Amino acid sequence: MFTAIYELLCGKNDDPIYASNVYPYVGLFTLVYAIVFAIVFYLLLGRWRPVWDKVSHWIITLVILIAIAAYLALDQSKSATGENYDAFMYKFAIINAVVATVYFFIFSVILKRASIFARRTPF
Amino acid sequence: MTRNVYVFGIGGTGARIIRSLTMLLASGVQLTGTHKIIPIIIDVDAKNADTTRTLKALDAYKLIRERGYGNREDVKDGFFGVNLNTLSSVTSEISGAEKPDDSFQLQFENLETSFIRYIDPKEELAGDVTMDLLEALYDNTPPGHDNFSHTELNLRLDLGFKGNPNIGTVVFNNLATTKAFQYVLKSISENDRIFIISSIFGGTGSSGFPQLVRLLQEEERIRANPFGALTVMPYFNVTDDKKSAINSDRFNAKTEAALTYYAKYLKGKINAFYQLWDRPLKQYENKEGGAEQHNNAHLIELIGATAIIDFANKPDNALKSKDKTVYFDFGIQHEDQLIDIRHFYDTTKNTILYPLTLFTYAMKIYLEKIPEFKNEAFYKELNLNHQLTSDPFYQSLTAFFDKHYKTWLKEMMENERKFQPFNIDLADLNSLVRGRQIEVKKVLGIVTNGGITDAFLKERLGKLEDELKKKMPENEREKRFLKLLHEIAEECFKKLEKLPSEVFH
């Protein structure tokens, strides 16, 4: 599933390791990170105390997730292929950041109803 | 079996005590076995400022309760829980009686004239022996004299009786003929209780009280109903003003005369008689009535309102027959010029001062804290950004807290004797209750328990609103908000732990 998504968004790479190792691994962990970030934001902190529940906090959380997603894509591409950073890797990192943003947004919409303090975040 | 309690407040003092009653009921003071409280203000002085602001407070209460709880009768506790309503709300249809206006005031008729024109509207008595008698009984200073307009025969009745019960008696006698009073008589059922508040040292109250008892008990059907009364004896003076019809040097003499009259005339007519007085410490400006009669709230009026609560809550078997009138006084633990919660006995603390403390926490949170919490989820969930400024419920709630309750507290704080239970001007809620500070706990210089802080309020308001939302549907948002205010006030009280107490020696 992840391979199909990334090949659709990034284009197919000639190196088959992307389809077999990089896309599934990066896709799964990006999804897991997005879920974990949303759970921590909305259910753990968002139900505990009003300490990390405003739009500014949500944006900071998203930026951290984006950074992790981009780093994950770059690092996994480099280590799986054994090559230096190239233009495709940067493109993949940017697209993975966008994918993480979409995941986080979707989980935000789903989980915010179960929150107390972040119920109206980001909107 | 539930009953209605009809509370008649006669004159300026009656209105001021009903004002205090409104504050107590808004704070959630409990009434047992009572379906509705029907306050009825009887004041001929149509522009009396004390009466006007009491009516405004009553109207605000009524609107808040109706929007908050609708016509639900099962709601009896929490802020604005008591169903305080107008006479016209009692029953929709009473045969043979015209429904009065939806007002808390009982209007006299044909009072826009002088006393002599009221007695003799067509000027038929000129030269008659009856006019000679009237001139002998009442001050008849001739026209052209400086004091002509202040003389008894020429007093304008719609400005009150200005300390002249001899005029009030004549006018009150005609109350029975008014349509509104006929409706009162028909609306009172056999199970209802009647309470009458008056002062004994003025004009309207002292003359109106015995007359009102007589007029009510002329109705055979309600003669056996429990009657309670509160008579307020002098607790303030007014400045000397030779041009004024009111002279406080005569307060004591008038009190003595009225008490003597009551002892004979009211024997066997009242079940529970509450009497209040205080050594006059404060000298009010001498205002004869109208918009200028704007006396600050006084502790005595708050205590007077507790008499109504006490009477309403008495079990039937505690009210003896009218032949055995029970008399009540009110005492505090310790004589002082400055009174706070510590001066009261535990019963008053538990029944009156505990709800007032909760209401004061709620007032501070509503007026000062909640507007600062615009970014909190509970604020957005309740749509307060829009509602606080444009919805009549919230506008009335703001007016009640700010213009009525806060002003009432401040007036009592500044009056003599001073009643200062709360430090309402301090921003720190840990210091709200005089005589009991909520301690901030620290370990190694780090605050481990800050008491009532903004962080504490945000957290509790968020969680309470989340719980309330699950229990109450969206169309009960106003009720949910009143409940939220009550519960957050209770949370604050948990931090306080208990009301202050002090052993006086």
pLDDT digits (tens, 9 = 90+) for B1-14: 678 999 999 988 89
User: Residue B473 contacts by C-beta under 8 Å, 6 or more apart in sequence?
Assistant: none
Q: B72 pLDDT exceeds 70? A: no
Q: What is the least distance, in Å, from the CA of B381 to any CA of chain A?
A: 8
B121 and B104 in a common domain: no
Record the tokens describing residue B218, joined without a space.
């002329």
Using a 10 angstrom Cβ sphere, with 0-12 exposed, 13-18 middle and 19 or more buried, the burial of residue A102 is exposed
Residue A84 β-bridge partners: none
B122 and B60 in a common domain: no
- Asked whether residue B200 is domain-assigned, the answer is yes
Q: Hey, which bits of B32-127 come out as E strands?
A: 34-42, 105-106
Q: What is the 3-state secondary structure (H, E, C) of B342-384?
A: HHCCHHHHHHHHHHHHHHHHHHHHHHHHHHHCCCCHHHHHCCH
B348 and B317 in a common domain: no
Interface test with B, best of A116, A120, A121 (most B CBs within 10 A): A116
* Top-confidence range, B117-121, B241-245, B278-282, B405-409: B405-409
B412 and B266 in a common domain: no
Per-residue pLDDT band for B115 (boundaries 50, 70, 90) equals confident
Name the residue facing B381 among A49, A53, A119 (closest C-beta). Answer: A119
B197 and B121 in a common domain: no
Q: In this complex, do B459 and A50 lie within 8 Å of one another by their Cβ atoms? A: yes
Query: Which chain B residue shows the shortest CA-CA distance from A55?
Result: B375
B424 and B305 in a common domain: no
pLDDT digits (tens, 9 = 90+) for B336-352: 889 999 999 999 999 99
Specify the pLDDT at position B343: 94
Q: At residue B4, what are phi and psi to the nearest 5 degrees?
A: -95, 150
Q: In this complex, do A120 and B380 lie within 8 Å of one another by their Cβ atoms? A: yes
**Maximum C-alpha span of chain B:** 94
Cβ-based interface (< 8 Å): residues of A facing B: 49-50, 53-54, 115-121
First to last CA, chain A: 30
pLDDT digits (tens, 9 = 90+) for B374-419: 999 999 999 999 999 999 999 999 999 999 999 999 999 998 889 9
Nearest to B377 by CA among A35, A44, A59, A42: A42
Per-residue pLDDT band for B87 (boundaries 50, 70, 90) equals confident
Specify the pLDDT at position B46: 66
Q: In this complex, do B377 and A49 lie within 8 Å of one another by their Cβ atoms? A: no
DSSP string, B420-467: --B-TT-S-GGG-BTT-PPPPEEETTEEEE-SS-HHHHHHHHHHHHHH
Angle at B195 between CA B191 and CA B199, to 5 degrees: 170
Specify the pLDDT at position A53: 93
Could you give the residue ranges of the DSSP H alpha helices within B271-353? 299-313, 346-348
Amino acid at B259: L
B284 and B188 in a common domain: yes
- Asked whether residue B504 is domain-assigned, the answer is no
Q: A16 pLDDT exceeds 90? A: no
Nearest to B162 by CA among B19, B262, B293: B293
Say if pTM beats, i.e. exceeds, 0.80.
Answer: yes
Angle at B484 between CA B478 and CA B488, to 5 degrees: 155
Collapsed DSSP state (helix, strand, coil) of residue B101:
coil
Question: Mean of the pLDDT values across residues A102-106?
Answer: 96
Specify the pLDDT at position B473: 83
- Asked whether residue B270 is domain-assigned, the answer is yes
Per-residue pLDDT band for B286 (boundaries 50, 70, 90) equals low
Question: Mean of the pLDDT values across residues B104-123?
Answer: 78
What's the mean per-residue pLDDT of chain B? 86
Helix axes B49-69, B392-399, angle to 10 degrees: 140
- Asked whether residue B337 is domain-assigned, the answer is no
Out of B331, B362, B379, a domain closes at: B331
- Asked whether residue B336 is domain-assigned, the answer is no
Could you give the residue ranges of the DSSP H alpha helices within B27-123? 49-69, 115-119
- Asked whether residue B65 is domain-assigned, the answer is yes
B202 and B93 in a common domain: yes
Q: Please state the length of chain A.
A: 123
> What's the CATH code of the domain at B100?
3.40.50.1440
pLDDT digits (tens, 9 = 90+) for B139-165: 667 666 766 666 777 777 776 666 676
Rounded-to-integer distance, Cα B386 and Cα B389, Å: 6
Out of B284, B303, B331, a domain closes at: B331
Query: Which chain B residue shows the shortest CA-CA distance from A48?
Result: B459
Neighbours of B334 (CB within 10 A): 13
B362 and B487 in a common domain: yes
Specify the pLDDT at position B495: 96
First to last CA, chain B: 44
Per-residue pLDDT band for B298 (boundaries 50, 70, 90) equals very high
Q: In this complex, do A120 and B458 lie within 8 Å of one another by their Cβ atoms? A: no
**B422-447 as b/e: b if 16+ CB within 10 A:** bbbeeeebbebbbebebeeeeeeeee
A-B contacts (CB, under 8 Å): 29
Q: At residue B411, what are phi and psi to the nearest 5 degrees?
A: -65, -40
DSSP string, B164-200: -HHHHHHHHHGGGGSHHHHHHHHH--TT-EEEEEEES
Amino acid at B361: Y
Taking the mean position of all CA atoms in its chain, how far away is CA A83?
A: 24
Q: In this complex, do A53 and B459 lie within 8 Å of one another by their Cβ atoms? A: no
Cβ-based interface (< 8 Å): residues of B facing A: 375-377, 380-381, 455, 458-459, 462-463, 466
- Asked whether residue B503 is domain-assigned, the answer is no
Q: What is the least distance, in Å, from the CA of B329 to any CA of chain A?
A: 50
Specify the pLDDT at position B200: 83
Q: What is the dihedral of CA B79, B85, B89, B90, to 10 degrees?
A: 100
Specify the pLDDT at position A1: 78
On whether the CB atoms of residues B60 and B400 are closer than 8 A, the answer is yes
B220 and B164 in a common domain: yes
Q: At residue B35, what are phi and psi to the nearest 5 degrees?
A: -85, -55
B213 and B248 in a common domain: yes
- Asked whether residue B53 is domain-assigned, the answer is yes
Q: What is the least distance, in Å, from the CA of B2 to any CA of chain A?
A: 41
pLDDT digits (tens, 9 = 90+) for B195-239: 999 988 766 777 788 889 999 999 899 999 999 999 998 776 666
Rounded-to-integer distance, Cα B222 and Cα B184, Å: 11
Record the tokens describing residue B65, joined without a space.
């309760």
Q: In this complex, do B462 and A50 lie within 8 Å of one another by their Cβ atoms? A: yes
Q: Hey, which bits of B104-151 come out as E strands?
A: 105-106
Query: Which chain A residue shows the shortest CA-CA distance from B457?
Result: A50
Q: A85 pLDDT exceeds 90? A: no
Q: In this complex, do A116 and B377 lie within 8 Å of one another by their Cβ atoms? A: yes
Rounded-to-integer distance, Cα B409 and Cα B405, Å: 6
Number of domains within chain B: 3
Lowest-confidence region among B267-271, B420-424, B500-504: B500-504
pLDDT digits (tens, 9 = 90+) for A35-77: 999 999 999 999 999 999 999 999 999 999 999 999 999 999 9
Domain containing residue B436? 342-496
B124 and B32 in a common domain: no
On whether the CB atoms of residues A26 and A76 are closer than 8 A, the answer is yes
Q: B76 pLDDT exceeds 80? A: no
Name the residue facing B463 among A54, A116, A121 (closest C-beta). Answer: A116
